[in-house]
Amino acid sequence: MKKWCAAGFFAAMLLCPILVWAAEAEYDYYGSVKNLGSYKGEGGDVVIPEEINGKEVLGLERFTFRDGSITSLTFPDYMQAISDNNISRLEGLTAVALPEDLEVLSPNNFCYCPGITDVTIPSKVRLIGKYCFYQCDGLKSVTFEGPVPIIEEYCFSWLPDDFVCYVPDDQIDAYRQVLPEDITVEPSGKTAVVYEYPDTAE
């Protein structure tokens, strides 16, 4: 797998303050407006709210989800980044719906989650940090919707022998260059959905 020197740049650019989330005793999360603690709900199908106590949920702090009773996770579609070490070792997790606007999946997310069988990576994702989807014993397929992102080392490693990555038909060669050599890469039957990122230069 190739290492990309641009990874640090993208991570720094996109992981600016990613959480403004208020949580009080009646909510399912510990923490304050500036610092969300861990999930303390009842598990099961968890839908991350768009706002809590009048404050918009813009992202997640580290180590939010460690509850093995969580079976599914659904994010607000506008969420652009998931910070590192946020979602891992969830033994009961079987389904995840990543946000449509997701651009950065930081390191150490969705590792050691044996119940996940398939995941769709939205088209805007341009960085997948190291150890994401590492040693997920039940993972059978990942479907990419957009152009090849930066994929850091140890992503999609130690997976079942029959694991398959489905990628846009016009991006097969690009994906094969960045994914581990032992992964089967197949066309998804669709072309890449290309997103024009706003020009942030002054």
- pLDDT class of 174 with cuts at 50, 70, 90: very high
- Look at residue 65 and tell me whether its pLDDT is greater than 60: yes
Query: Mean pLDDT throughout 72-98?
Result: 92
What CA–CA distance (Å, rounded) separates 96 from 77?
13
Query: Mean pLDDT throughout 31-60?
Result: 74
What CA–CA distance (Å, rounded) separates 161 from 145?
23
Calculate the average pLDDT of the chain.
83
Q: What pLDDT score does 112 carry?
A: 94
What CA–CA distance (Å, rounded) separates 179 from 24?
42
- Look at residue 37 and tell me whether its pLDDT is greater than 70: no
30 CB-near residues (< 8 Å, 6+ apart): 23, 36, 37, 38, 40
pTM of the model: 0.81
Q: What pLDDT score does 30 carry?
A: 59
- Look at residue 124 and tell me whether its pLDDT is greater than 80: yes
Query: Distances from the Cα of 74 to the Cαs of 3, 21, 22, 27, 99, in angstroms?
Result: 30, 17, 19, 17, 8
User: Which position has the token pair 């995941």?
Assistant: 119
Q: What pLDDT score does 52 carry?
A: 75
What CA–CA distance (Å, rounded) separates 177 from 185?
11
